[in-house]
Structure 1
Amino acid sequence: MAMTDDDDLDGVDDLLARAAGTLREHTDAGWVQARASLVAKIRSAVRPSAPVRARHAAGTFFVAGSVLTAVVRHAVESRTRARPHRITLDTDDDHALTEVTVHVGAAFGEALLPLADEVRRVVVAQLRDTLGAPTLPASLVRVDLVVVDVYRA
């Protein structure tokens, strides 16, 4: 009896079906542990950033949160002695900025209170420039100095 190409494919399909069934029954403990972390990373990678309401002479506009975070990070990196590690933005239901939190690293021996004041001034100035709100209250910005590393100045 001669075999045709269709017979070969039927055998492959059957083999694949059995292999897939076996894999479905097998649960890899490592995957179960890593799954939540991977899903969180994927969600954060593909999720667009939240808008932040801003204004200029012609009216209201929106700035992407990721853009605002990037310009604040650049300002802190280029105009202070701090090293920014994490910047978070909080907005209300109307997308108005309510709080900015900046986590920074500091040089060994750095006076932390003057550094926090310096970072706060730079962040508020950058927010005013970017969002077009010259009356933005300085109390809006909270600077958390989190020592995640110590570096030589």
Structure 2
Amino acid sequence: MAAERVGRRQGRGGGPAAGAALGGLSPARGSPARSPGVQRRPARATVKYNRRELQRRLDTELWIDGRLGELYRGREGEMPDELNIDELLELETDQERAQKLQGILSSCAADTQGFIQELLEQLKGLPKQQLLQRPPPQQEGPEAPP
């Protein structure tokens, strides 16, 4: 493992197996003394996304799918194609979010107020997903006349 390799380079490798992996040299004999100014490399790679936030977002999306299935049971054809969480998060207030949700769920015959209130609670503190978008290609050369 990478963490074990880093540990061996820093002289923390364990026992004879670590020495055998380095060509028969033990870390203490095979590596020069570290200078006090050298920083240790972390044993773990950094992660770009916060795993807890991603899991919370996934749980919210799964909850929405389940609840929409309950609300539209028997009328799946009327179910909205998509309920975009990021569009809801872009709105300023819960009242605006509730109005947008009522518009999306207008085809539902069931009472949606409970679902809307629960969803608004789940959206609190949920970060907006930042999409990685490629910038539009720059036009090279002279611009074409309109």
TM-score band by shorter chain is under 0.3
Q: Give TM-score, length-normalised by structure 2.
A: 0.27
